[in-house]
Amino acid sequence: MDTLTHALSGALLARATAPADAPARSIPRRVAAGFFACAAPDLDFVLGFVSPLVYLEQHRGPTHSLLLLPLWALLLSWLLAKILREPRGWTALYGVCALALGAHIVGDLITSFGTIVFAPLSDARYAWGTTFIIDLWFSGIILAGLAASLAWRGSRLPALAASVVLVGYVAFQALQKERALDYAREYAAQQGWSGEVSALPRAVSPFNWTVYVSDAAAHRFAHVNLRRTAPAPAAHDLVGRMDAAFLPLSQARWETRMRYGEDATSQALAREAWESPALGFFRWFAGMPAFDGLGTGSTCAWFVDLRFVNPGRDWVPFQYGACREVPGAPWRAYERAAGAPGAPLR
């Protein structure tokens, strides 16, 4: 989830959970604490200034850990009590900071990126995959709840109502995911495909999904809209292009991306690069890795994670590969930007 939506959700939760007998003058401090505490875990963006690899390995890690949440809540409540001049001290803000941190973790779990909720004891990533990382409907529900809370300052009911609607919206998205999975399973059975079936939420609409049937050699996938009976009109703006790419189920266009390439030569080289220690970090991270070509000059094999290949958008993040100067030399990891490798990652 984007950081602003996290922060707003923390403010909404803080207002919704304010004690009924709380003094009116304490509510703004509580809401502010919820806002800042719920945004705080994304301060791990600074890891990107250390290196892209450190960011990839640690983003949504320690700052998003359920195990470390009590300690982060203690630190944030102490700091925010100083900043917000809370007369009752950090103990008055500890509970709302803990709730806000928990809301941030849940807000990331519902997306598809993966969150390391048990850091530092485990580096396993968890993702429920019901909600796209930037969901304007999700954010809009929060904003409506906050606006209503401003209009009815003396009541927490608007914030409570918006929170209930928000939970209902995510539950609705979970139902749409099951519909997408059912479609993919049925289509795979009709085609005689075997493999793991999955579905990822996409931008613009809760009815936009990408469905996958993945086996050891390839990913087959289609961009579908669960509601449409006819394609959306062509559009030239970014949002319109992204939305129009999702077709009715009856007109779905299935594509195939190979894990290691098409021909025997590229497959052998790509598999060797993929299985090298240099790309161990990407094997851990990538949910749907696919071969994305061989480089020129020095020998390079490039890979992308299909989770981040969105129709209608040209830019694809997290493109990594392994390169070596001569056969038999050690592979080194690179990140590809603007079609060319940068400096080695390690």
Report the C-alpha gap between 237 and 135 in whole angstroms. Answer: 18
| pLDDT for residue 75 | 97
Domain ranges in the chain? 3-128, 176-258, 264-344
Report the C-alpha gap between 80 and 264 in whole angstroms. Answer: 59
Helix %, strand %, coil % for the chain, to 5? 50, 15, 35
Q: Are 41 and 104 in contact (CB under 8 A)?
A: yes
Q: Which helix (H) or strand (E) holds 320?
A: strand 320-324
pTM, 2 dp: 0.92
| pLDDT for residue 20 | 82
| pLDDT for residue 53 | 86
Profile the chain (346 residues) by mean pLDDT over runs of 10 residues. Answer: 96 94 88 97 89 87 96 97 94 97 97 95 96 95 96 92 97 98 97 96 96 96 96 83 92 96 86 94 95 80 93 85 86 79 65
Report the C-alpha gap between 293 and 263 in whole angstroms. Answer: 11
Residues 6+ apart with CB under 8 A from 110: 1, 128, 129, 130, 131, 170, 173
| pLDDT for residue 337 | 75
Burial class (CB in 10 A: 0-12, 13-18, 19+), 191: exposed
Beta strand pairing call for 218-225 and 247-248: parallel
| pLDDT for residue 296 | 65
Closest CA to 96 of 176, 36, 186, 151: 36
Q: Are 52 and 342 in contact (CB under 8 A)?
A: no
